[in-house]
Amino acid sequence: MFSIISQKIKSMLKNIHVILVLYRSFKAYRKQVLTLTLMGFLSGLLEGIGVNALIPLFSIAMNQGERGQDIISQSIEKLFVFFHVDFNITTLLIFILSIFIVRTLVLLAFYYIKIKISADYEEKTRSELLKKTLNAEWSYLLKQKFGKLETLLITHVQYGANALLSLSTTFMAIVILCTYVVIALNISIIITLGAFILGILSIFVLKPIFVKTKNIGYKAGKALEDVSHFVNQNVLGMKTLKYTGVADKLMQTGNQYFKLLNEYKVKVYIYKNFSPQVLQLISLVFICLLFGLSYQFNYLNFGALIAVIYLVQRMFNYVQQLQTSVHGMSESLSYLDNIIQYGRVLKQHKESIVGDKEFIFKDALSFQNVSFSYDTKNVILNRVNINITQGESVAFIGPSGAGKTTVVDLVLRLFSVDSGMICLDSVPVGDINMKKWRNNIGYVSQDMFLKNDSILNNIIFYDDTITKKDAIAAAKKAYIYDFIMQCEQDFDTMIGERGIALSVGQRQRIVIARMLARKPKILIFDEATSALDNESEQYIQHVINDLKGKVTVIMIAHRLSTVRDVDNIFVLDKGSIIESGHPDVLLQDKQSYFSTLYNMKNNS
């Protein structure tokens, strides 16, 4: 007894969850769905009246005495009398044709509104998810699978839109079905009740199929996300995959993902199409029995029989459509749930942008007893004190894992400190407007992000305030202008996916031009020269030297030749500053980390 009650409660909770998912997803479209429902009712009513008009039509055509004793037939005849229109075959045909023309117009409007709200849902949901992702904390985004956002924006949202279409169709099917039942009851109560009960029973009998469709839909959504992540991740590393010769092993892993997704999709398709086929068979058997019994016992006149058979067939069609729509919603629920959950998590991890002060840099950027850790176990920075004067060029060096990149991430405000304070001209950075902060900071990393677009658009990079003149000036400062002008289409030259048509050094200088075009007050180079040849490194060095005194330059470098000319060096080790000073001063101290490392590399 307890297990039965428990199952009932679980079933009820699942149904409540389904309703909540649908409401949260589509509450903005309540009015539109209601409008579609009313239009569905009007469509069903018009069709029912038009079909019911067949009874007097056939009665007149076959010279039968009865023109239809049902309420609707009599009402149609009274309507003709009221407007002084002859009640004959011609006028009845015109009446029926007019009814169906109006119904067609109503349906056209219905489908227009239906697809319009579906497309609107896709557009707004994609825009909202992208905006929330861009405004999310970097610490959260770091942990997400590559390709997750792509899958959500493209596939999940599309399935969500399909669910909205299915929901609209469900409401339409319900009201039209009810309308047909009422009109059919007007002709024959016994036949209509029989068809209605049979249709309802078939829904309950086929209910397990709905449950299976929903469960497999959840699994298919997860499998699709895994496939997207797998493909995106490995396409980016195609060169590595080729030269390491692991293609066969990769194919085995890929085929496992593809096979699993294929199995789920086949099952979903089978379950979705099983119910409609069964319903078609049931409706055909019922109509055959109805026709046979009516013929045997002369239960209805010919016109009424034709009308009721048509209505019964349409009732079964809408029961089938209702089941198909419910299947569609069941299949899409997992995708809708994922969209809601992702949006909710993004809201929890929204980046804090509470500051409202201007970015003013005239004195110094300072770290004051700053401590930071990614988790409670490992301290990355421990009570660090740094002072960077405006216009100064500084470099952070030290072994891997010492905390150099973390310092840069804190300057970029991708993370917040655990304790201590980072200040700009004695103003806590948290008090400065985030957008204005980042507008004044340029960042050049070893991982160069370039679009499959022209050189010009890669320098402008979504910033409409940058003109072509600005881009040209920035390209000259980045020592890439001469190369660009040698290209066939100069600044309009396409550079391929992630700049594959260019050398690493050329890509790096285009990224530097992008940053310089924004006229930053602080420019950060994060291992920007580590993968460059000597010539490209010299170009970058020229850029840095040209910026001295004009822009505050912060560098992270393993190549000591790159940092030889900076104003100040900070040596980080195990999260602490172990030494700092001008390169010349540190070189004179033979015990210093910088001097030891510099001499070691020169001697080698």
Q: What is the pLDDT of residue 8?
A: 44
94: left (phi over 0), alpha (psi -120 to 50) or beta: alpha
Per residue in 91-144, pLDDT (tens digit) is 888 888 888 888 889 888 988 888 888 889 888 888 888 888 888 888 888 777
- CB neighbours (10 Å) of residue 248? 7
Nearest Cα neighbor of 157 from 135, 130, 184, 178 is 130
Q: What is the pLDDT of residues 5-43, one digit of tens each?
A: 445 445 544 556 667 777 777 888 888 888 888 888 888
Residues paired with 386 in a beta bridge: 367
Return the higher-pLDDT residue of 288 and 68.
288
Q: Say which residue, 433 or 560, is predicted with more confidence.
A: 433
Higher pLDDT, 302 or 332: 332
Against a cut of 0.85, is the pTM above it?
A: no
Q: Cα dihedral sign for 410, 415, 419, 425?
A: positive
CB atoms < 10 A from the CB of 460, how many? 22
Residue 416's contacts (CB-CB under 8 Å, 6 or more residues apart) are 352, 430
Higher-pLDDT residue of 463, 87: 463
CA distance 509 to 344: 39
- Domains in the chain with CATH codes: 19-29+104-348 (1.20.1560.10), 364-603 (3.40.50.300)
Token couple for 603: 């001697």
Alpha-carbon span 394 to 376, nearest angstrom: 30
| Long-range contacts of 434-437, Cβ-Cβ distance < 8 Å, separation of 24 or more | 434/351, 434/352, 434/353, 434/355, 435/353, 436/358, 436/359, 437/355, 437/359, 437/413
Per 3-state DSSP, what percentage of the chain is helix, strand, and coil (rounded to 5)? 65, 10, 20
Query: Can you give the pLDDT at residue 553?
Result: 92
Lowest mean pLDDT among 19-23, 158-162, 296-300, 541-545: 296-300
Q: Which two tokens stand for residue 109?
A: 């409007």
Q: In this predicted structure, what is the pLDDT of residue 243?
A: 44
> Which range is least confidently modeled, 15-29, 293-307, 520-534?
293-307
Confidence at residue 14, expressed as pLDDT on a 0 to 100 scale: 55
Q: What percent of the chain has pLDDT over 90?
A: 12
44 neighbors 111 (Cβ within 8 angstroms): no
Q: What is the mean pLDDT of residues 166-183?
A: 83
Q: In this predicted structure, what is the pLDDT of residue 472?
A: 92
Tokens 């195990």 map to which residue? 574
- What secondary structure, in 3-state letters, does 275-342 show? HHHHHHHHHHHHHHHHHHHHHHHCCCCHHHHHHHHHHHHHHHHHHHHHHHHHHHHHHHHHHHHHHHHH
Residues 439 and 358 sit within 8 Å (Cβ to Cβ): no
Q: Decide which of 523 and 325 is more confident.
A: 523
What pLDDT score does 589 carry? 80
Q: What is the 3-state secondary structure (H, E, C) of 175-234?
A: HHHHHHHHHHHHHCHHHHHHHHHHHHHHHHHCHHHHHHHHHHHHHHHHHHHHHHHHHHHH
Q: What is the mean pLDDT of residues 293-299?
A: 64
Quote the pLDDT of residue 352. Answer: 77
pLDDT confidence of residue 9 = 46
Dihedral of the alpha carbons of 113, 149, 20, 329, in degrees to the nearest 10: 60
pLDDT in tens, 338-393: 888 888 888 888 887 777 889 999 999 999 999 999 877 788 899 999 999 999 99
pLDDT tens sequence across 232-261: 667 666 655 554 556 677 778 878 888 888
Q: Does 290 score more than 80 pLDDT?
A: no
Helix axes 189-205, 302-348, angle to 10 degrees: 30
H or E, element range at 410: helix 404-411
405-409, 564-568, 589-593: least confidently modelled range: 589-593
User: In residues, how long is the chain?
Assistant: 604
Task: Give the pLDDT confidence score for residue 4 in this predicted structure.
Answer: 45
Residue indicated by tokens 């009814």: 99
- Higher per-residue pLDDT: 261 or 309: 261
Predicted confidence band at 303 (pLDDT cuts at 50, 70, 90)?
A: low
**Cβ–Cβ < 8 Å for 462, 514:** no
**Averaged pLDDT, 223-232:** 75
Please provide the average confidence, as pLDDT, over all residues in the chain.
Answer: 80
Question: Can you read off the two tokens belonging to residue 267?
Answer: 């099952």
Nearest to 599 by CA among 557, 560, 555: 560
State the pLDDT confidence band at 221, using cuts at 50, 70 and 90: confident
Q: Is the pLDDT of residue 82 over 70?
A: yes
Q: How far apart are CA 437 and CA 359, in angstroms?
A: 6
Name the band, by pLDDT with cuts 50, 70 and 90, for residue 522.
Answer: very high
The whole-number pLDDT of residue 41 equals: 84
CA–CA distance, 376 with 370 (Å, rounded to integer)? 15
How big is the CA angle at 262 (ends 260 and 265), to the nearest 5 degrees? Answer: 110
Residue 142 phi, psi (nearest 5): -60, -30
